[in-house]
Structure 1
C-alpha cells in the first residue's frame, strides 16, 4: 500500500492544481474556497473520489450506469465535488455526536447549507481495495495540521449499500495525537475481521481553529 501511495501522489497533486487553476480561469465562484482545505485522498473520500474519476468528464451520461452514486451526487450539487476539500464544521467543541446526527455522518451533519447531503445517500459507492492493515492519507492543501484524528470503520454485518450510516455502526480503530502542519499526513490503522464493503469514517480536528472535517471513504476488505 505504501508503494502505491507514493507513486500515486504526484499524479493527483498535479491534477488537483491543474483543475483548480482551470476553475479559476473560468471564474467559478467557489474556486477560491476549493483551494483552502483538505480531504482523505486514499482511500478516497466519497466526494474526492467522484471528483478524481469524473471532474474532467462530469457531464458524461455514462456516469449514471458506471458510477451511479457519483451521478446522483453530481446531479444534486456539483459544488460538493468541486469543493471536495471543504467538508467541515466550525465550533464543534469536541461534541461530534451532538453536532452530527445519525444518517448525516458523511455530510458532516448537512454542513455548508446542505452542499454535501448527497454523500449520505445509501447505495453502491465505488470502493478502494484494502487489507486488514492499511493507511489513511490526508491531503491538507493549507497545511492546517491536526490536533487529532479519530478513525472509525463500520462493523462487520453493516451494509453501506442498504443502510444509512449511524454512530452505532462504527468502531473506533485509531485515535492519534497531534500532527505538525504538513500537506501530506498518513495514519496507519488496523481493522481485522472484516470483508466486503465498509466505510472508513475519519474525523480530522484541524489545528488552526476549532474546525472539524467529517470524511467517509468506501473500502473493500479483500
Structure 2
C-alpha cells in the first residue's frame, strides 16, 4: 500500500466516522401548549382528551399515519426570522410540515378554551426537552374566520405576549400574561417558541373563545372556570409526562448509540493505524 493510498484511506475513514456519530441537535422534539390546549396536544393518539372528536379524527385522517404522536415536534429548522417565507399561508398550524397537515384544517369544531378578555392568564407549555428561548404569542385579528385557512394576514402584527427564558418545572414552562382586551368571540392563538441554543422554532395553534359578557376590568387572575382546560391540565400533564418519559428514553438511547458509535469508530481507526504501520514497515528497505 503506497503512502498516497494510505492517505486516501484515512480520508474516507474520517468521513465515515463523521457520518457514524449522530449530532446531539438532531431529532430532539420539544413541546406544545397544554393551556390553552393546542391542536397537537388535544389530538394526541391514545392520550389526547379530545381524541375521537370530529376535528381530531379529521386531523388524524389528513395527516401522515402516526404523525400526531409527534405532538411536540411541529417545528421549522433554520427559519432565521423568515417564517413567513418558510411557512406559506394556510399551513401555519403545521409549521409547513406536510405530515402534520391535518392540524391546518379550517373547521369551527376544534377544541376551544374559554377566555376572559383582558384577564391575566397562566399559560402552560409542556416540554419533552427544555432549552432556553423566547415565547411569542399572537392572536388573530377581526378578519379571522375559523372556517377559512389561517393566513399570516389574519394575525395581529405584534405578539400580545413575549416571554424570554421562563423557568420550567419538571415537564413544562408556565408563565402569566395579560390576554388581549379587545377580543370577542372565536379566535386563535399562535404560539411561537424560538430556541436560542438550537436552530429550531416551534409553532402551535390554540383555538380560543373570548367571552363577550365577561370583561376583566382590572382583574389580576382569571375567574373560576375561565378556561375549560383547568380540569384538563392534570390529564394532559400526565400525557405529556408519559411522552416526556419517552423523550428521556430517547435521549438515553441517543447517548448509548453515540457511545457505541464512538467505540466502533475508535477501534476501526486503531486497527487501520496498526495495518498502515505494518504495511509501511514492509516497504522499508532492508
TM-score, with length taken from structure 2: 0.56
Q: Using a 3 Å threshold, how does the CA distance of structure 1 residues 101 and 192 change in structure 2: closer, same or farther?
A: same
Work out which of the residue numbers 180, 184, 190 in structure 2 matches 1:201.
190
Is this contact kept in 2: 1:46–1:119, CA < 8 A?
yes
Q: Using a 3 Å threshold, how does the CA distance of structure 1 residues 101 and 189 change in structure 2: closer, same or farther?
A: farther
Q: How do residues 18-167 of structure 1 correspond to structure 2 at under 5 angstroms?
A: 36-51=29-44, 55=48, 63=52, 67-77=53-63, 78-109=65-96, 111=97, 114-124=98-108, 125-132=110-117, 133=119, 134-146=121-133, 148-160=134-146, 162-167=147-152
Is this contact kept in 2: 1:139–1:184, CA < 8 A?
yes
Q: Cα deviation per residue 1:90-125 (whole Å; 9 max; x = unaligned)?
A: 11112111211111110101x2xx111111110121
C-alpha RMSD of matched pairs (Å): 2.5
Aligned residues between the structures: 178
Q: Which residue of 2 aligns with 1:170?
A: 155
* Residue aligned with 2:126, SS: strand
How far off its partner does 1:175 sit?
2.3
TM-score, with length taken from structure 1: 0.71
Query: How far, CA to CA, are the matches of 2:111 and 2:166 in structure 1?
Result: 29
Unpaired segments of 5 or more residues in structure 2?
Answer: 1-25, 212-286
Q: Cα deviation per residue 1:138-189 (whole Å; 9 max; x = unaligned)?
A: 112211231x1111001135221x2211111112212233345654222323
How far off its partner does 1:135 sit?
3.2
How far off its partner does 1:57 sit?
9.3
Unpaired segments of 5 or more residues in structure 1?
Answer: 1-32
Q: Cα deviation per residue 1:2-24 (whole Å; 9 max; x = unaligned)?
A: xxxxxxxxxxxxxxxxxxxxxxx
Query: How far, CA to CA, are the matches of 2:27 and 2:111 in structure 1?
Result: 23
Is this contact kept in 2: 1:79–1:115, CA < 8 A?
no
Is this contact kept in 2: 1:39–1:138, CA < 8 A?
yes
Q: Using a 3 Å threshold, how does the CA distance of structure 1 residues 83 and 154 change in structure 2: closer, same or farther?
A: same
